Chain A
């Protein structure tokens, strides 16, 4: 199923760069928030191959960079991937050009959160009596403004 997903993505992938990503405001904002030069990525795929959450993602971590380099921020804002990344830093420590991918994922989330967007509703959380406080605190920090 996973292989099928990648094939589908490759098939649907857009290779035309619509707009100069260097001029794109939102790409610049992502670069600024994350502090990472996203143009360094050369698609080696080490991040995607080691990612423990990749099987649940619709866009692979390496593809996130491809979309960013193409200036296609809309696809990323509609993707589930930034909200599935668990910030475990496996990709960050393995990236051969030293990109902090977790920070880029956070920047994509922040782009939406800073517009007062709630990814989850804290009032609807179940199992509140058994969840450890660190789970709730970290979840709300990542998923609410």
Chain B
């Protein structure tokens, strides 16, 4: 069976500390019959979208990526650009919507980037979860070989999949797309009240303690609702929730660490892809090996 080609925007973090996210995404997509082809010559998305109205500097890189995608989409005949990192998704989607709404801005950018063709707004930026929903969760169910029966998962969306409103992949206060997927995979999804709360984001660089406090709250509430693991899609949420448990454990006596997993890793496990070249479990600070033992 030949695989259908889809444009994939990995983003910088997936090439390093989030190798586990990249490889599990590619492997699960392959299982569904898709070959995720890396967008040629992609550049950094900028991680945070510029909020100043009088500046276009944070939009340029994203529009440049979209132009590259536009060119490549003609070659493979599909205008979907899939990103799995929440920040990349948010940035690319916001840039697309921004320039579609503010044509003056697009005009300025098109003049500025005179060496490239104009952006015509043809790219459909999707998060991997949206892509999977489009593929059909019921069809994913057919691929499940080792259901995650008995694994209690707290779904964690973070901010950038749900906010601002125009880029939300689901209802911003009560999303359920991740829950739906996890249930299809056979996992027991717990009702996690903090699923759309911020993890502290980039403050992890210079205000570690604040992020550790957020992590403490997010993990201990997940523990309270009886979860075994927290599932996320953002490499920064992953880093904060995983790594900052180290400081949280020092600051709070009796704090019990909890493994953090990408939803793609859980998907790979349910598909029977449990090799370390897909999961890279050594990249986790809190080892999930014990909790995942039945599927490894």
Q: Is B259 an interface residue (CB 8 A)?
A: no
A86 touches B198 (CB 8 A): yes
A132 touches B163 (CB 8 A): no
Q: How many Å from the CB of A126 to the closest CB on chain B?
A: 9
B13 touches A93 (CB 8 A): no
Which A residues lie within 8 Å of B236 (CB)?
Answer: 132, 134-135, 138
Which A residues lie within 8 Å of B52 (CB)?
Answer: 33-34, 103, 106-107, 110
**Cross-interface CB contact of A56 among B58, B85, B210, B243, cutoff 8 Å:** B210
Q: Is B113 an interface residue (CB 8 A)?
A: no
Residues of chain B in range 57-113 having any CB-CB distance to chain A below 8 Å: 58, 85, 87
B12 touches A93 (CB 8 A): no
Interface size class for chain A?
A: 35 or more
B47 touches A90 (CB 8 A): no
Residues of chain A in range 74-122 having any CB-CB distance to chain B below 8 Å: 84, 86-90, 92-93, 100, 102-103, 106-107, 110, 120
User: Per-position contact with B for A33-49: 1 when CB-CB < 8 Å, else 0?
Assistant: 11100000000000000
Q: Is A1 an interface residue (CB 8 A)?
A: no
Residues of chain B in range 175-217 having any CB-CB distance to chain A below 8 Å: 196-198, 200-207, 210, 213-214
Which A residues lie within 8 Å of B47 (CB)?
Answer: 133-134, 137-138, 141
List 9 A-B pairs, Cβ < 8 Å.
Answer: A35-B53, A53-B200, A88-B163, A120-B205, A132-B17, A133-B16, A133-B47, A134-B236, A135-B202
Q: How many Å from the CB of A88 to the closest CB on chain B?
A: 4
**Cross-interface CB contact of A89 among B44, B54, B164, cutoff 8 Å:** B164
> What 9 additional pairs, Cβ within 8 angstroms, besides A89-B159, A90-B163, A107-B51?
A52-B198, A53-B203, A86-B200, A88-B159, A93-B172, A100-B164, A125-B205, A133-B16, A139-B202
User: Per-position contact with A for B1-20: 1 when CB-CB < 8 Å, else 0?
Assistant: 00000000001110011100
Q: How far is the CA of A88 from the CA of B163 in the complex (A)?
A: 7
Q: How far is the CA of A36 from the CA of B180 in the complex (A)?
A: 37
Given A132-B13, A138-B87, residue A93 in contact with residue B202 (CB < 8 A): no
**B285 and chain A: residue at smallest CB distance:** A130
Q: How far is the CA of A52 from the CA of B178 in the complex (A)?
A: 22
**A88 and chain B: residue at smallest CB distance:** B198
Q: Is A25 an interface residue (CB 8 A)?
A: no
Q: Is B46 an interface residue (CB 8 A)?
A: yes
A141 touches B51 (CB 8 A): no
B210 touches A53 (CB 8 A): yes
Residue numbers of A with Cβ under 8 A of B are: 32-35, 52-53, 55-56, 84, 86-90, 92-93, 100, 102-103, 106-107, 110, 120, 125, 130-139, 141-143
B163 touches A141 (CB 8 A): no
Q: How many Å from the CB of B73 to the closest CB on chain A?
A: 25
Which B residues lie within 8 Å of A141 (CB)?
Answer: 46-48, 50, 58
Q: How far is the CA of A34 from the CA of B50 in the complex (A)?
A: 10
B206 touches A125 (CB 8 A): yes
Which B residues lie within 8 Å of A138 (CB)?
Answer: 47-48, 87, 201-202, 236
Which A residues lie within 8 Å of B50 (CB)?
Answer: 106, 141
Which A residues lie within 8 Å of B51 (CB)?
Answer: 34, 87, 100, 102-103, 106-107
Given A93-B165, A138-B48, residue A32 in contact with residue B197 (CB < 8 A): no
Q: How far is the CA of A93 from the CA of B212 in the complex (A)?
A: 25
